[in-house]
Amino acid sequence: MRSHRWFTPWLLVAPALLWLGAFSFWPAINTVRMSFTNAKPLGGTEQWVGLRNYTNLFSDPQVANALLNSVVYMAVCLPLLTLLPLGIAVLVEKKIPGITFFRTSFYLPVIASAVVVALLWNLVLDEGGVVNNIVQSLKWVQGPIPFLTDRWLVVFSSISLTVWKGLGYYMVIYIAALGNVSKDLHEAAAIDGAGAWRRFWSVTVPGVRGAMILVAIMICVSALRIFTEPYFLTGTTGGPGGFASSFVMIIQQYARGLLGNLGYASALSVVLFFICLIPMLILARQNRKES
């Protein structure tokens, strides 16, 4: 048997390490560094400002509004995108004629471009869009519903788009997890007289608990970092007065342009990183306790 030199494994992983260092680790370190400066997009003389960028966050009303929107986003998306895909996965797992069509239909929004989908929903939810035309023709409302001009309606319109687009993605994860749930347990529970609903809660849900924790963590992080949906539904403005902006949207707003404040935007990015850690640690701790 031929022996390899000690550095052979390092040669194999070197391209991946270089990629991670150049596009993940260095940008992260540089963002933390810039959060303590008054860096500008065009460079120039950077000055160390200490914690000033972080202390300014507490008096910035845009940060409070964006944080509230992002937390509401996460609180609504978490139960919907954790349970609905599981229910759909249980249904499409059954081997019945035509089920492939439904599996494809549910997964189709996942492969569609988020920008294109957001622009289509913009047309659907506009004051002269399909939804408003239908409800007004049915005499359910007197005037158009301001889906895209009212702060909370914009937020919930964005949430509905996120849920619709994410159902298929998380459904695939649950289908893979359902393959590990023992059929014998279902048969034993059925022999004992358990109905379909009882078997779902007592056999299926415990069997996919690990996948549910993974899905919940992914949803929390994605919801807190949401950008595309509110950005395009509001025409890049963040809704009326910018009050429907997400946390990532205000980071982009502060950093863009020749006079952007990269130092302050970097401080917001660092804060968002630690905010995303909170639900991840809570769910991981809960999972460890139950295990």
Say which residue the tokens 């509905």 belong to: 160
pLDDT of residue 69: 92
Q: What is the residue extent of each domain of the chain?
A: 65-289
CATH number of 65-289: 1.10.3720.10
Which has the higher per-residue pLDDT, 43 or 221?
A: 221
Tell me the C-alpha distance between 175 and 5, whole Å: 43
Average pLDDT over residues 150-170: 90
Q: Note the helical H segments in 126-192.
A: 130-137, 151-178, 183-191
Helices 262-290 and 26-34: angle between axes, nearest 10 degrees? 120
Tell me the C-alpha distance between 124 and 131, whole Å: 6
Q: Pick the range with the lowest mean pLDDT from 6-20, 105-119, 201-215.
A: 105-119
Token pair listed for 209: 């608990």
- pLDDT surpassing 90 at residue 267: yes
Token pair listed for 136: 């007004």
Residue of 167, 202, 195, 196 whose CA lies nearest to 181: 202
Residue of 1, 6, 186, 21 whose CA lies nearest to 93: 186
Tell me the C-alpha distance between 59 and 173, whole Å: 42
pLDDT tens-digit series, residues 173-232: 998 998 888 888 888 888 888 888 888 888 888 888 888 988 998 999 999 999 988 898
Tell me the C-alpha distance between 67 and 181, whole Å: 39
Token pair listed for 239: 């809704």
pLDDT of residue 291: 65
pLDDT tens-digit series, residues 47-82: 898 899 999 998 999 999 999 999 999 999 999 999
Confidence (pTM): 0.83
